[in-house]
Chain A
Amino acid sequence: MSILVVADHHNSELTPVTANVVAAAKEIGGDIHLLVAGENCQAAAEAAAKLEGVSKVLVADNAAYGHQLAENVAALLAEIGKDYSHLLTGATAVGKNVFPRAAALLDVDQISEIISVESADTFQRPIYAGNAIATVQSEDAVKVITVRGTSFDPVAETGSAEIEALDKATDAGLSSHVSEELAASDRPELTAAGVVVSGGRGVGSEEGFDIIYKLADKLGGAVGASRAAVDAGYVPNDLQVGQTGKIVAPQLYIAAGISGAIQHLAGMKDSKVIVAINKDEEAPIFQVADYGLVADLFEAVPELEGKL
């Protein structure tokens, strides 16, 4: 059995989730290769070679893969993927975009967002916004899988795999990259942060989020938000936590002014310790909170920041 892990990266950088995906691959067992498809992505390839358990890093360095357009990367995966028993990647925006296309080209199902490996062909995954956990078994020749990073502890960076250049280039010519608006931030990445402080509609405005950012900075954490806060324009879309946003599982999650809709809980209820600050003592968020504080967030959040 050999497994191909497809790296999530920004060419010059490997994103942390890749180390979690390799951990899932190790649980399946077998020889693990790692593919970096990008442009000028040598730095990402070198970082990938350090991931423990990886025996070989394949690098497809070509302009066609620079922005990881689905049509081009999926064609590459369909070509080289046939020789593997499993294809794995993180359930990230890129992974979710590319992998189902590759699966269909290989004429196999995809298993989305697994949270555990039961055996080489059996996996668990959440359905219905995490209100149920399904155990699924695949009979497909190639198992195409996206992995929920927070469910697997990352492997160490003690390896030294060989790096091999793949001389492949497919430009389907169907799509092109125009531009990107990326939120620049010095804070830790949301899905990998040890502490997440999230604000909801109760925060009331973009300015209101200042106290949320301050508390996050005090704790060295990341900032998250509910869909309502994103829709209202208080914060950018990439901060949304939930069923259809980011999945987080930090050591400490603080929810301020968030009611606790099932779609939000789906994204944070695996956090180790949950704190809820809400002025409505009936808010459903209190049902999942280890520590609930019924209070006005505009008083409690600054006070908490001051006392930590």
Chain B
Amino acid sequence: MKVLVPVKRVVDYNVKVRVKADQSDVDLANVKMSMNPFCEIAVEEAVRLKEKGVASEIVAVTIGPKTAQEQLRTAMALGADRSILIETDEKVDSLTAAKLLAKVVEEEEPQVVMMGKQSIDTDNNQTPQMLAALAGFAQATFASEVTIDGDKAQVKREIDGGLQTIEVKLPAVISADLRLNEPRYAKLPNIMKAKKKPLDSKTPADYGVEVASKLKTLKVEPPAERSAGIKVGSVDELVDKLKNEAKVV
């Protein structure tokens, strides 16, 4: 069984981004970039499926600039067998990403597409569901436990009131939530080995998909700052403030 893992290069989760003075975007110059944390979880899950003998091949794919090769190398160091870079310097919205990934799905015919639930830059939470729609696949989003059994998968999902288990027919798109697993770190020998694994370079045009968006960003601003608060010296003072100043209790 083949597993396709789309991964995205994003700003590292530890970075507190700043907005550019001209309000055109956030400033990503000289900022640390990493694999989207949810994609790391997706890669880990794919690797575990391979270790269990359920998956036979893992293919990582990314849409992004040339530098996104780094994230593909990371995915291969973690256990992906080969990877595909769909190179573009344009911003790619979720619908376009899903259209490109749908073409890759058509070509690769994976049984499972394992993805992150959300990119931590756009906070979109869309691409897996959109890909599932375009490919005509079942979808199991926000997964916290995945069990593959023949041509079906049982997936425990994080929902608003707790947990829900659904069964989906394969092929399916599964999107990873935080508690699906704890990703491992790549070991040095594996990082070396990953440099020799195949990395295919493509362009959106190769797939006949135009990178365009009907959604325009007009401006990007910093959020309203909260005015600085005070430290209180005791619980009594806190109670007094809550009752008489903030009037919330």
Say yes or no: B125 contacts A96, CB within 8 Å.
yes
Say yes or no: B221 contacts A263, CB within 8 Å.
no
B207 at the interface (CB under 8 A from A): no
Task: Name the B residues within 8 Å of A109 (CB-CB).
Answer: 93-95, 213-215
CA distance A219 to B242 in the complex (A): 12
Say yes or no: A252 contacts B223, CB within 8 Å.
no
Say yes or no: A231 contacts B178, CB within 8 Å.
yes
A272 at the interface (CB under 8 A from B): yes
B209 at the interface (CB under 8 A from A): no
- The smallest beta-carbon distance between A68 and chain B, in angstroms, is 10
- The smallest beta-carbon distance between B119 and chain A, in angstroms, is 10
Say yes or no: B220 contacts A104, CB within 8 Å.
no
> Interface on chain B toward A: helix, strand, loop, or mixed SS?
mixed
A40 at the interface (CB under 8 A from B): no
Say yes or no: A293 contacts B130, CB within 8 Å.
no
B211 at the interface (CB under 8 A from A): no
Say yes or no: A175 contacts B220, CB within 8 Å.
no
B162 at the interface (CB under 8 A from A): yes
- The smallest beta-carbon distance between A266 and chain B, in angstroms, is 8
Interface hit among B166-174, B185-193, B194-202: B166-174
Given contacts A175-B169, A230-B179, A273-B248, contact A137 B98 (CB under 8 A): no
B144 at the interface (CB under 8 A from A): yes
CA distance A239 to B236 in the complex (A): 29
How many residue pairs between the two chains, A and B, have CB atoms under 8 Å in the bound complex? 253
Say yes or no: B121 contacts A128, CB within 8 Å.
yes
Digitize B64-100: 1 where CB-to-A-CB distance is under 8 Å, 0 elsewhere.
0000000000000000000000000000011100100
B124 at the interface (CB under 8 A from A): yes
Task: Name the A residues within 8 Å of B241 (CB-CB).
Answer: 291
Digitize A83-101: 1 where CB-to-B-CB distance is under 8 Å, 0 elsewhere.
0000000001110111111
A275 at the interface (CB under 8 A from B): yes
Interface size class on chain B is 35 or more
**Can you name the residue of chain A whose Cβ is closest to the Cβ of B216?**
A137
A105 at the interface (CB under 8 A from B): yes
Interface hit among B53-61, B105-113, B227-235: B227-235
CA distance A127 to B236 in the complex (A): 39
Say yes or no: A132 contacts B138, CB within 8 Å.
no
Task: Name the B residues within 8 Å of A295 (CB-CB).
Answer: 235
Say yes or no: A134 contacts B235, CB within 8 Å.
no
> Interface on chain A toward B: helix, strand, loop, or mixed SS?
mixed
Given contacts A286-B231, A291-B242, contact A104 B163 (CB under 8 A): no
Task: Name the A residues within 8 Å of B205 (CB-CB).
Answer: none
Say yes or no: A105 contacts B248, CB within 8 Å.
no
Given contacts A231-B179, A238-B161, contact A133 B221 (CB under 8 A): yes
A80 at the interface (CB under 8 A from B): no
B146 at the interface (CB under 8 A from A): no
Say yes or no: B213 contacts A308, CB within 8 Å.
no
Q: Which of A137, A237, A288 contacts B144 (CB 8 A)?
A: A237
Say yes or no: B130 contacts A104, CB within 8 Å.
yes
CA distance A38 to B87 in the complex (A): 42
CA distance A92 to B140 in the complex (A): 15
- The smallest beta-carbon distance between A36 and chain B, in angstroms, is 17
Beyond the given A74-B133, A108-B95, A128-B120, could you list 12 further A-B residue pairs with CB under 8 A, ordered by the A residue number?
Answer: A94-B159, A101-B129, A107-B95, A128-B121, A129-B120, A133-B222, A135-B219, A174-B168, A236-B162, A275-B242, A288-B229, A304-B238
A-B contact pairs, 22 of them (CB 8 A): A70-B132, A74-B129, A99-B129, A100-B130, A108-B95, A110-B130, A128-B26, A131-B26, A133-B222, A133-B223, A136-B215, A138-B216, A175-B168, A176-B166, A179-B165, A181-B163, A195-B248, A286-B229, A287-B228, A290-B226, A290-B230, A293-B235
3 shortest interchain CB distances as A-B pairs = A174-B138, A100-B129, A104-B130
